[in-house]
Structure 1
């Protein structure tokens, strides 16, 4: 029995579709004094092994199982706090951000590499000890959280504050904890409209990982709140040491680009009432409650329409008992009704965020999933 690592796991689940490789891996694990479950050649068989109640102390996952990715198995193992690592010929680029910090053992499998992976393999990425409200920071493993934490500074976001100026150099990155930050598109003649927004699900400075230190937008605090800020130099250095931070930040940048494109679609093809319904839903996704602190003037600025148009649209939504509008506040009364009112302008960017990031932008709140295609229920409704 090999004793290269302390306290070896007793039972290992092997998920591998190649019989020869699976047999070789099982042999190596047996040499480490482990009992083998499997090998499971496909996702469904692996899930069956997990569901049958057997004790599993660690799992070894091939990524591609006859054309199907193993990530549903990894998700199920994470839910059950069962540690695992990947044994694969693929690079880290193919895995979702939530698994970016997992151990990779490259094929062909070397015995010493397997033993080292077993020694270092731990449970699923632990939440940061600081219990961050920002979803990206809270998704980091404890190791990566410990790396970034000393560089973070808590700040207050004041309504109307400019975080980034159009065509200016980005000097700091902010992980939003509470409140809303708007990306404002400005034309040469001074016209402006909100192109996108960021809340606790994201981070500013989205072009940095692509090598762009300037922003084409103005970034303004729309709803006051808090954030964790880090200077650009420290952020870029840390992304070289923390693969999960880099992967999550890059995936968020992609999701924000999708959101911006669908804002353009909404502005060009949907009525004021439908756009307002979509916008209120987006704010509600990022808020802790149903009460949104918004003035008519501010909403007209963000939607790029006259104040009278916003007032009329609010009356329509209130008349349909979807919201209540009081001085300086909008209260969401019927969220499902707002989704219907948005008439398809809401849903795709939200589903894409979840696909890219591996968790809902509404945080801990559960969103029912369509079992057929893993798209949130609001997206599966044909409106």
Structure 2
């Protein structure tokens, strides 16, 4: 859920039903609504007499426009978003960076945008997500106003299998796992962190997520509505290709997880999982044995035994709720060819290591040819 700060939001909208729906959405998310009002005169009166720290502005108000009020809000440093049925081409240059929602829109999306603030807010490093950092700057600038920052809480499920993909998530920190849905084994087939995105299947016209997405390690993500993201992305072949390449790597990760589940030992799979988690959160991993056993679809006792072996070899140190990688080379050796191939493919296709800065593999990068010649170790 978006990190919503309680705010008093001025709503300026001349359509009664849209104004009522928007006010209801704002109140549901914890905001206090100032108004709604249908024109600039009433809005200016409220602005002078009420505390206002955010606003939603309909651009066309009868025969008038809301731009003079928007200028006053800018002068006062009050955040606002536009709503319009005319597209963003009518917006003057001075407001080009302001989020604009085209009608008809979902009131909840607009409410979250004005309450959460854009991704460019101070303290939010959009470049923490590697896909966004590799996106051509001019394309990303068109998307930037439409991002909101959301929390990823361990155990939460941002998407369940079969859910409609009405928005996409680009994690900045933390880790999410993708697994089969209800009625199937909860085997984790992929991990997504700062290197990836959730909802990439939208690029191929698939509007429902076939997997369950579960937060395994707390963090933050940037969220953007699909209706804002896809039209702008289609006009950028470079950005489109970048994300399709990531989807290819995600497919590889899924296939390799299934291969490991069928051919690798529990110790190898535990080592592989720890390395993949460390790539995304660092060598101090906050995770419990139960979560690992669920992700690997094995008994908890098997995970505990594998960790004891890795700890005895000096590779890790396991404490309640936390596992520390002490010697990465030993953990990589334990994982064997169960780790490294997908990461090498990511780096080859996207031109950047998927690991956090400072984390480097200690062993030679594997190759597809080497995998098929050697196979997974027994």
Shorter-chain TM-score: what band?
0.5 to 0.7
CA distance in 1, matches of 2:134, 2:220: 18
Structure 1 residues 181 and 131: alpha-carbon distance in aligned structure 2, compared to 1, 3 A threshold: closer
User: Partner of 1:145 in structure 2?
Assistant: 140
Q: How does 1:178-193 map to 2 (within 5 A)?
A: 178-186=173-181, 188=183, 190-193=184-187
Q: Residues 151 and 303 (structure 1 numbering): CA distance in 2 closer, same or farther, change over 3 Å?
A: same
Contact preservation (8 Å) 2:168, 2:197: yes
Residue of structure 1 aligned with 2:322, choices 326, 329, 332: 329
Partners in 2 of 1:179 and 1:339 — Cα distance?
22
Instruction: Report the RMSD for the aligned CA atoms in angstroms.
Output: 2.1
Matched residues in 1 for 2:289 and 2:366: separation?
Answer: 29
Q: Distance between the aligned counterparts of 2:339 and 2:229, measured in 1?
A: 32
The answer to whether 1:294 aligns with 2:281 is no
**Residues of 1 paired with 2:125 and 2:305: CA distance?**
44
Cα 1:368–1:216 shift into 2, 3 Å: closer
1:212 and 2:206 matched: yes
Counterparts of 1:229 and 1:131, CA distance in 2: 11
Within the alignment, does 1:307 sit opposite 2:300 as a pair? yes
| Pair 1:378-2:365 in alignment | yes
Give the distance between the partners of 2:258 and 2:125, measured in 1 at CA.
37
Q: Distance in 1 between matches of 2:125 and 2:260?
A: 38
Alignment partner of 2:223 out of 226, 229, 236: 229
Q: Distance in 1 between matches of 2:356 and 2:317?
A: 25
In the TM superposition, what whole-angstrom CA distance separates every residue of 1:222-253 from its partner, at most 9, and x where no partner exists? 11100111011111112123333212211111
Structure 1 length as normaliser, TM-score? 0.61
The reply on whether 1:243 has 2:237 as its aligned counterpart is yes
Superimposed CA distance per residue, residues 179-207 of structure 1 (whole angstroms, 9 cap, x where no aligned partner): 0010011363x432111110100011021
Is the contact made by 1:135 and 1:363 (CA closer than 8 Å) also made in structure 2?
no
Contact persistence 1:160–1:221 (CA under 8 A)? yes
Alignment of 1:275 with 2:258, yes or no, is no
CA contact (8 A) 2:174 2:194 kept: yes
Distance 1:271 1:342 in 2: 9
1:135 to 125, 130, 149: 130
Alpha-carbon separation, structure 1, partners of 2:329 and 2:130: 24
Q: Provide TM-score, normalisation by structure 2.
A: 0.62
**2:165 maps to which of 160, 170, 189:** 170
SS of the aligned residue for 1:343 comes to helix
Partners of 2:165 and 2:332 lie apart in 1 by 35
Counterpart in 2 of 1:357? 350
Note the C-alpha offset of 1:378: 3.3
Is the 8 Å Cα contact of residues 160 and 181 (structure 2) preserved in structure 1?
A: no
Q: Does 1:344 align with 2:331?
A: no
Once the two structures are superposed, the pairs formed by residues 99-118 of structure 1 within 5 Å of their partners are: none
Distance change in 2, residues 1:274/1:228 (3 Å): same
SS in 1 for 2:151: strand
Once the 2 structures are TM-superposed, how far is the Cα of residue 146 of structure 1 from its aligned partner?
Answer: 1.2
- Gaps spanning 5+ residues in structure 1: where? 1-128, 370-375
CA contact (8 A) 1:162 1:220 kept: yes
- Which residue number corresponds to residue 201 of structure 1? 195
* Counterpart Cα distance in 2 of 1:347 and 1:273: 16
- The whole-number CA distance in structure 2 between the counterparts of 1:180 and 1:366 is 16
- Do the aligned partners of residues 131 and 160 (structure 1) sit closer, same or farther apart at CA in structure 2, a change above 3 Å counting? closer
Cα shift readout 1:262-300 (whole Å, capped 9, x = no counterpart): 00111000110000000101111111x310001111111
> How many angstroms apart in 2 are the aligned matches of 1:266 and 1:348?
12
CA distance in 2, matches of 1:140, 1:232: 17
How far, CA to CA, are the matches of 1:244 and 1:280 in structure 2?
Answer: 33
Change (3 A) 1:252 1:319: same
For 1:61, the equivalent position in structure 2 comes to: none
